[in-house]
Amino acid sequence: MKKILRIALLCVLFGSLVLPIFAGGAQDKGIEKKVGVLMPTRSLQRWNQDGDYLKTKLEAQGYEVDLQYANNQVATQVSQLENMVTAGSKILVVASIDSTALKGALAEAAKAGCVIIAYDRLLMDTPNCDYYATFDNYKVGTLQGTFIVEKLGLKDGKGPYNLEVFGGSPDDNNAYLFNQGAMDQLQPYIDKGQLVINSGQTEMSVIAIQAWKPEGSQARMDNLLTAFYADKKVDVVLSPNDSLAQGIVASLKSAGYGTAAKPFPVLTGQDCDRINVKMMINGEQSMSVFKDTRTLAERVVTMVTELGEGKPVTVNDTESYDNNVKVVPSFLCDPVFADANNYKALLIDTGYYTMDEIQ
């Protein structure tokens, strides 16, 4: 009897110790269901859409989502990341402002056991980037360059045409991939003299526009037109995205483009922002590369779910994205070409926009 009582007493004592441990484990499980999502800014339409899609889809999977925008302020994004780690987010989805500026905060996040997914912008110079989800950014540039080649009939020997080239933000690794993809298509025709860059400006150190700001591209286009096109017209402008295209169009309009005598040049873009879809319809912008944020968000939701369930994370590229410290396992979604002829099928029929939003 005494032996039975001793065993019973030990069970009670052991239970009083074990239950809090199990309770702590349950809390940890709850913490693992908390995801921090860091977006760079609300000033560009696409980041609002990305953030909203991610939050909606992750919450539908039962995750608590801490979504933060940093107003393109690096210090703000660093602070937001640190606060998310402190608040218990164990999975971080990061669309960085400056691809190298989060190294210290990412190191602390890794020490806290966080898994870090770079979202559409590769996190550079850090070992603490576990996965990367993006579109095939070299292909984005390829689509833009190929469009110019075909639109101008360069394969048929047509030309010469006056070309000017713009680059994206120098702190965004994607900007270099966009540029490389496009220039690989255009360089043969530059070498042949079918495309003439009157400014001679092709280096990213010169053509890059900080923070992808339209006012930056407008100012540079103003300078190009004044310095190199007083007595000639520009025939084609390589713009890597839609925000830069907006600034370029504003500059061209101020310089008298948009008439029968002085038509708008062939102009590329990316993102299919609403204002740019209108510009395509109006003949001010020639094309844009459509990157369906729903596709990218769905992929990241899949990654997060796989992590949460302890499954291997699905990737389709383990070679291309070297961040100067490691090759980051990546999933690349496909971008597609959009213009005034196919925007309805791509954007309206799929529910991405309503006609009211682009009219």
Which conformational region is residue 77 in: left (phi greater than 0), alpha (psi within -120 to 50 degrees), or beta? alpha
pLDDT at position 44: 84
**What is the bridge-based pairing of β-strands 330-333 and 131-135?**
parallel
Q: Is there a contact between 244 and 168 (Cβ–Cβ < 8 Å)? A: yes
The residues facing 330 across adjacent strands are 132, 317
Q: Quick check: helix, strand or coil at residue 324? A: coil
The residues facing 336 across adjacent strands are 290
Number of domains into which the chain is organized: 2
Q: Same domain for 147 and 286?
A: yes
Q: Same domain for 192 and 59?
A: no
Per-residue pLDDT of the chain (359 residues; tens, 9 = 90+): 444 444 444 443 334 333 232 222 323 343 368 999 999 999 888 899 899 999 999 999 999 999 999 999 999 999 999 999 999 999 999 999 999 999 999 999 999 999 999 999 999 999 999 999 999 999 999 999 999 999 999 999 999 999 999 999 999 999 999 999 999 999 999 999 999 999 999 999 999 999 999 999 999 999 999 999 999 999 999 999 999 999 999 999 999 999 999 999 999 999 999 999 999 999 999 999 999 989 999 999 999 999 999 999 999 999 999 999 999 999 999 999 999 999 999 999 999 999 999 98
Residue-wise DSSP of 232-261: S---EEE-SSHHHHHHHHHHHHHTT-SSSS
Residue-wise DSSP of 9-51: HHHHHHHHHHHHHHHHHHHHHHHHTEEEEEES-SSSHHHHHHH
For the entire predicted model, the pTM comes to 0.82
Q: Same domain for 234 and 323?
A: no
Q: Is residue 9 part of a domain?
A: no
Helix (H) or strand (E) holding 61: none
Omega before 335 cis (within 30°)? no
Q: Same domain for 78 and 193?
A: no
32, with CB counted inside 10 A (0-12, 13-18, 19+), is middle
- CA 139 from chain centre, in angstroms, equals 14
pLDDT at position 293: 86
> The domain that contains 81 carries what CATH number?
3.40.50.2300
Instruction: Show which of 275, 291, 307 is a domain's final residue.
Output: 291
pLDDT at position 138: 96
**What is the bridge-based pairing of β-strands 161-165 and 195-196?**
parallel
Q: Same domain for 264 and 182?
A: yes
Tell the residue number behind the tokens 């204002």, with chain if given. 275
Q: Same domain for 189 and 73?
A: no
How many Å apart are CA 266 and CA 280, to the nearest integer? 11
Task: Say which DSSP state 62 is in.
Answer: T
Q: Same domain for 193 and 320?
A: no
CB atoms within 10 A of CB 221: 25
Q: Is residue 243 part of a domain?
A: yes
Q: For the chain, how many residues are written?
A: 359
How many Å apart are CA 180 and CA 358, to the nearest integer? 31
Tell the residue number behind the tokens 């609300």, with chain if given. 42
pLDDT at position 32: 66
Q: Is residue 98 part of a domain?
A: yes
Q: Is residue 102 part of a domain?
A: yes
Q: Same domain for 256 and 305?
A: no
Q: Is residue 353 part of a domain?
A: no
Instruction: Show which of 265, 291, 317 is a domain's final residue.
Output: 291
Q: Same domain for 311 and 283?
A: no
Q: Is residue 299 part of a domain?
A: yes
Q: Same domain for 72 and 114?
A: yes
Which of 80, 83, 59, 85 is closest to 69 using CA atoms? 80
Instruction: Show which of 291, 321, 342 is a domain's final residue.
Output: 291
Q: Same domain for 89 and 185?
A: no
- CA 170 from chain centre, in angstroms, equals 14
Reading the block at residue 332, the tokens are: 């690349």
Cα distances from 330 to residues 95, 107, 166, 270, 324, in angstroms, run 14, 20, 27, 21, 15
Q: Is residue 207 part of a domain?
A: yes
Domain that holds residue 146: 137-291
Q: Which long-range contacts (CB under 8 A, 24 or more apart) does 171-176 make?
A: 171/97, 171/98, 171/99, 171/100, 171/101, 171/210, 172/99, 172/121, 172/212, 173/99, 173/121, 173/122, 173/124, 173/323, 174/120, 174/121, 174/122, 174/134, 174/137, 175/204, 175/208, 175/240, 176/204
Q: Is residue 350 part of a domain?
A: no
Q: Same domain for 84 and 62?
A: yes
